[in-house]
Chain A
Amino acid sequence: MATTTTRGPARPAPQAAHTSRRRSLGTRNALNFWLFTGPFLIGLIVFVFVPIGWSVWLSFFDARFTVTPSTFIGLDNYRTVLENPNFTDSLVTFTVFAAFIVPITWGLSLGLALMVHRLRFLRAFFRSVFFLPTACSYVAASLIWKMSIFNGVRFGLANTVIGWFGFDNVAWLADPDPPWYWLVLVTLRLWLQAGFYMILFLAALQNIPAELYEAAAIDGARPGFQTFRYITLPQLRATSTAVILLLLIAAYQAFDEFYNLMGKATWGQPPLVELYKVALGESQDYGQGSAGAVILTLLICVVTLFQGRILGFGRAEEAR
């Protein structure tokens, strides 16, 4: 409102208008900067930095049943957390999970994208069909997986299917030996995620110029694997890197399906579930939970730095 009124009378005196405009542009820029980043910054401070700081503070206190503790206990929480096999096992669990789920989802979504890309008819239909599960919640999917598909009774879907081949019923989740629960966890996440990453790959595939394939054909590249290996895959490099990063983050954030499927197990618990149980589930030990969270944050920082080195993120210009 204010800017339009000053702009009106300023018209007959262009010189003066120029400086006042520049100044107003300057303040406007600053205002715009804070207008656009302010809310985000406030959110970041309130929801990320304050909790992290509070967590670090809590981790040195005997914070049971309270988040405003008064008894300082030094490193006792860290000692307890590191001595707790459930926590240390959970670090192994999510590393194994990430090691499985990232390449499998990458492969499957790329495979789906290649198939859908080659379709001549019904492409939109299949694209939607594969993408739809993304809209489903992890909790709802977990319940379907647990109660209908992978229940342990004879009429569960999975048991019915293996029954046709003469196999006995399997207790997919109750019995950790053999660890069938991984099948349940991995298939669930695949079903929910693969479609989304397929869309990313599909977009990237459509951006590969047809001339490249033509040139390759003239140079004698055989269609099929050779073209895929030397044209398609290198052209998908940027998307692949992004997908792998997103998948890794998603794997590290895994909570819902583990929480809903694994019940009172001591295996197959990623750190987030384990810490949730420590901080909220049993003794409301926010000190111990925070100590675990701090350890986890440090580990994630180390992994991120390491990953940055390998994938060369942030060095894109130099690499060129």
Chain B
Amino acid sequence: MSAMSSTWDRRSLLRAGAGLATAGALAACGGNNGRGGGGSGSSLVQYFHAYGEAGTEQAIKRYAAAYDKASVRTQWITGNNFETKLFSALLTKQAPDVFEFHPQLQLVTSGQVADLTELIAPVKDDFNQADITSHTVDGKIYGIRMIDDPQFFYYRKSLLEKAGVGVPQTLDELVEAAAKLTTGKVKGLFLGNDITAVQYPLIWSAGADTLDSSNQIAYHTDGVISGLRTLRSLFTSGHLLLDAPADYWDPSALDQGLCAIQWGGMWSMPVMQKALGDDLGIFPFPKIGSAGRLSVYNGGWSMFVNAKGKNVDAAKEYVKWLWIDQKKYQEDWATSYGFHIPPRASIAQSATKLKSELPEQGVQLFNTYGHFDNIHWTQAMITAFNDVLANSVRKNGSPEAALDACDKKVNRELKKLQG
């Protein structure tokens, strides 16, 4: 009898277990798929990378909540692998309907992003024309720019004065300044932990470009090679801040007095101003060689609609509502957290927070020295050039060999994308 009851116990246990497993499987089918339950109309999912500034996540969710034609769920993706998460998600049924990213040709050629020309057409002239160009392929516009993010150097005025250093105009002067500014506790310069943050300015300041107008390699020049050599000498000089706890996109390195000059984005400006007050200046990436010119990287983020999503029309409508019609939210997004430049002239003009001295200077650098993303320069090419920095600046490899290896990868990608 006791054996019998124990069998029964085991059976009922098994059955209960199976029941639980089934319930679990059912629950997994129903929930946690990123889509909000209830709400009126269709439901949408949007992907954002985690902005560092306080209040950004709440802001994006607040805008989404104000939309009444669809319920919009936000996936706020933390960590440094936004691209990988986005790219892999785009292949699945759990793909976001709407996502932020940078304009890159492969998204268009692979049919992953929807044509948004019609949405933008009525306000096209209000947009910064460079932002329109960088999102256009064969006359069609594939993304709506939300914010423009110029990247430049921040410096502590007092530290430069104390060391008798002027604002560097050439890369060699920057190297000298870094040496003079380095003391026992403060390093002269911070270019980000892996130096790749300055890879574009390095190219532009050497008078070169990523690709030329016929989409051929334009970065493989003597100027870029000499720039890479100078960066290598800087890397080994002991005057560069390396392995900082927070990378260049965070204002901490300069705020905490770890360095005197830091590469950063305009988004960091409000926090830096709060921490350092007037003891803060900015300048563009200095010239490299005789053909060089000052440069600033006009990065930024744009909204895209997943062309293979389930609700393409609803997604387009939402994107139009938020990023074309709701100017109040657009201004809030660009100026209330970090500082970003609104890509639309009408908003940029009314954005009072960007009118004070330092932000205005940032806008000026953006307008005067800025280079925008080139849609033909894709993620694979970016990674290939990251390797150039790794192999010839952080490692003691020859810049020529590193650029040759990069050429091979970039050409393969160009061939694949352009046939």
Please state if A171 and B243 are interface contacts (CB–CB under 8 Å).
Answer: yes
Given contacts A80-B412, A152-B243, A282-B383, contact A174 B394 (CB under 8 A): yes
**CB < 8 Å: which of B185, B193, B258, B387 contacts A174?**
B193
Please state if B242 and A64 are interface contacts (CB–CB under 8 Å).
Answer: no
Minimum CB–CB distance from A106 to chain B (whole Å) comes to 30
Please state if B243 and A280 are interface contacts (CB–CB under 8 Å).
Answer: no
**Distance of A64 Cα from B110 Cα, bound (Å):** 8
Please state if B245 and A151 are interface contacts (CB–CB under 8 Å).
Answer: yes
Given contacts A65-B106, A80-B412, A277-B383, contact A154 B395 (CB under 8 A): no
**CB < 8 Å: which of A153, A173, A280 contacts B87?**
A280
Please state if A283 and B394 are interface contacts (CB–CB under 8 Å).
Answer: no
Binds B, one of A210-218, A238-246, A259-267: A259-267
Q: Mark A129-160, 1 if CB is under 8 A from B, else 0.
A: 00000000000000000111011111010000
Please state if A280 and B88 are interface contacts (CB–CB under 8 Å).
Answer: yes
Please state if B390 and A174 are interface contacts (CB–CB under 8 Å).
Answer: no
Q: Inside 8 A of B396's CB, which chain A residues have their CB?
A: 177
Please state if B243 and A283 are interface contacts (CB–CB under 8 Å).
Answer: no
Give the size of the chain B interface in residues (CB under 8 angstroms).
Answer: 41
User: In the complex, what residue of chain A is closest to B110 when comparing beta carbons?
Assistant: A65
Please state if B394 and A176 are interface contacts (CB–CB under 8 Å).
Answer: yes
Q: Inside 8 A of A147's CB, which chain B residues have their CB?
A: 245
Minimum CB–CB distance from B16 to chain A (whole Å) comes to 15
Q: Is B55 in the interface zone, CB < 8 Å from A? A: no
Interface residues of A: mostly helix, strand, loop or mixed? loop
Minimum CB–CB distance from A85 to chain B (whole Å) comes to 7
Interface residue tally of chain A, by bracket? 35 or more
Minimum CB–CB distance from B120 to chain A (whole Å) comes to 24
Minimum CB–CB distance from B251 to chain A (whole Å) comes to 15
379-411 of chain B: CB within 8 A of chain A: 379-380, 382-383, 386-387, 389-391, 394-396, 405
Q: Mark B131-143, 1 if CB is under 8 A from A, else 0.
A: 0000000000000
Q: Inside 8 A of A168's CB, which chain B residues have their CB?
A: 238
User: In the complex, what residue of chain B is closest to A85 when comparing beta carbons?
Assistant: B405
Q: Is B255 in the interface zone, CB < 8 Å from A? A: no
**Distance of A153 Cα from B246 Cα, bound (Å):** 11
Q: Is A186 in the interface zone, CB < 8 Å from B? A: no
User: In the complex, what residue of chain A is closest to B184 when comparing beta carbons?
Assistant: A154
**In the complex, which of the residues A62, A148, A152 has the most CB atoms of chain B within 10 Å of its own CB atom?**
A152
Given contacts A64-B416, A67-B91, contact A175 B83 (CB under 8 A): no
Given contacts A153-B258, A277-B383, A283-B413, contact A265 B244 (CB under 8 A): no
**In the complex, which of the residues B91, B185, B235, B396 has the most CB atoms of chain A within 10 Å of its own CB atom?**
B91
Q: Inside 8 A of B383's CB, which chain A residues have their CB?
A: 277, 281-283
Minimum CB–CB distance from A199 to chain B (whole Å) comes to 28
Q: Is B254 in the interface zone, CB < 8 Å from A? A: no
**Distance of A250 Cα from B60 Cα, bound (Å):** 41
**Distance of A263 Cα from B196 Cα, bound (Å):** 11
Q: Is A187 in the interface zone, CB < 8 Å from B? A: no
**Distance of A285 Cα from B83 Cα, bound (Å):** 14
**CB < 8 Å: which of B83, B84, B387 contacts A266?**
B387
Can you list 29 contacts pairing A with B, beta carbon distance less than 8 Å? A4-B4, A65-B112, A67-B91, A153-B245, A153-B258, A156-B243, A173-B243, A174-B194, A174-B242, A175-B394, A176-B394, A176-B395, A264-B194, A264-B389, A264-B390, A266-B390, A267-B390, A267-B395, A280-B87, A281-B81, A281-B83, A281-B87, A281-B379, A282-B379, A282-B380, A283-B380, A284-B87, A284-B91, A284-B110
Known: A86-B387, A152-B243, A172-B243. 12 other contacts (CB 8 A): A65-B106, A152-B244, A153-B241, A153-B245, A173-B243, A174-B242, A174-B394, A267-B395, A280-B87, A282-B379, A283-B413, A284-B106
